[in-house]
Amino acid sequence: MSDHIVLTSHARRDKPAEPIQWGAPTAAERGPVIASLTDPAQRNVIGTHAGAYAIYRALAVASGSLQRAHRPDLTDTAPAEAIGPHAQWGDPDKIVSLDPWGHLVSTVFADRIAAGFDIRPTIAITRAHINMPELGAAIAAGRLKPDGDILYPNGDVRVTKAAIDPVWYLPGIARRFNIKESILRRSLFEQTGGMFPELVTRPDLKVFLPPIGGMTLYFFGDISQLGKPETRVACRVHDECNGSDVFGSDICTCRPYLAHGIEVCIEMAQQGGVGLVVYNRKEGRALGEVTKFLVYNARKRQVGGDRAETYFARTECVAGVQDMRFQELMPDVFHWLGIRRIDRWASMSNMKHGALTAQGIEVVEQVAIPDALIPADARVEIDAKVAAGYFTSYTPPDANELALAKGRGLNE
């Protein structure tokens, strides 16, 4: 390890030691993603592992609690369940925002790791039991029936879960958004305050590990059945909403929809299919929680009260956009899992539905949240979304209905 500071603001003449052939059919031909900081000469990507936590790692190194040269001991960390490879892994345009080999590096790149390359997983797969009070309520109401295998009488559910860090193939991301790669690189460079100069100085480095949250997958049932055409799949793609998901805040339908999605997934697993919840770290429509709470205040303080007709406008006033989640990248995870058809899709978002079908993934049945599960203060959100064309099982509200203040005031 060098004691010199290695500047990335000037192009280096040397090519990366291990080039990446994104979308190559085998791991050996594709090559490893090497984001190591322990030996900068090995790097063949821009950014670092666990990018969203890089600043904490910097603090740990600066304060002396983490050795700069530490390499992970990967003994016994291999996936608890096998996933892939699937045919979709060998298509450079089907998966552009994660490394399909990210969970398998300790086996498929064992020779290179043994040769001294610092190659780390970007995906980890383990098993767990989960339990949410809503599932107990669903059992009590007779909607769910414990089977002692997937769902236990105490409400415990047996799951496999996978954590995925983002790995972006920049030419593929640019194609997905129909923009020039150079425009994408410049915007990423500028909007991170110049954090990654290689975005503009190293056009030969095509892969970027962005400093953003990734996703967590929760699987219900036998995941070895995924990728087979006869396997029925139920799914909820959920974008993070900490206030509702964790704390039960009632201004939106997020946690009720998540719990309902899990219920749909359990049913599918009990019928021999596979259930899947995709949990994306995209807090507050990827605008962040500070923006979200500012919008809540603006909604509740506006003349005329909190109402559906101004729901999207209040977000746009503060954030400049209604939404920055960009569902264009969301289908990648289905390609990774070999899923070509979703039989039951627990979502009312037309954006998510459109993104899936644009990627050739069939959605058979869309499942709206049952009306009884919508919290009172969330009426504003749900009416606004339905009026904007979201899928639902009930009649869209008319203009008079949308003008009614249905949300609580700030002091109630």
Could you list the active site residues? 323, 325
- Strand ranges of the sheet holding 46-47, from the earlier edge strand across to the other edge: 46-47, 207-209, 168-169
Nearer to Zn ion (CB atom), residue 61 or residue 351: 351
- Using CB under 5 A, count the residues that bind Zn ion: 4
Q: Kindly give, in sequence order, each residue whose CB lies less than 8 Å from that of residue 30, ignoring residues fewer than 6 positions away.
A: 20, 21, 22, 23, 24, 101
Site track for Zn ion across 148-167, x = CB under 5 A: --------------------
CB of 268 to Zn ion, least distance (A): 24
Nearer to Zn ion (CB atom), residue 241 or residue 361: 241
Site track for Zn ion across 254-283, x = CB under 5 A: x-----------------------------
CB of 253 to Zn ion, least distance (A): 7
Q: Angle, nearest 10°, between helix axes 311-319 and 379-387? A: 90
Nearer to Zn ion (CB atom), residue 232 or residue 282: 282
CB of 308 to Zn ion, least distance (A): 16
Q: How far apart, in whole angstroms, are the C-alpha atoms of residue 221 and residue 268?
A: 8
Length of the chain: 412
CB of 239 to Zn ion, least distance (A): 9
Nearer to Zn ion (CB atom), residue 252 or residue 402: 252
CB of 284 to Zn ion, least distance (A): 8
Element (H, E) at 163: strand 157-164
Task: Say how far residue 4 (Cα) sits from the centre of its chain.
Answer: 37
Compute how many other C-beta atoms are within 10 angstroms of the C-beta atom of residue 258.
23
Q: How far apart, in whole angstroms, are the C-alpha atoms of residue 364 and residue 361?
A: 10
* Subset of residues 215 to 244 that bind Zn ion, contact rule: CB under 5 A: 241, 244
Is there binding between residue 252 and Zn ion (CB under 5 A)?
yes
Nearer to Zn ion (CB atom), residue 241 or residue 367: 241
Omega within 30 of 0 (cis) for the link into 72: no
Q: How far apart, in whole angstroms, are the C-alpha atoms of residue 168 and residue 181?
A: 12
Positions in the binding site for Zn ion (CB under 5 A): 241, 244, 252, 254
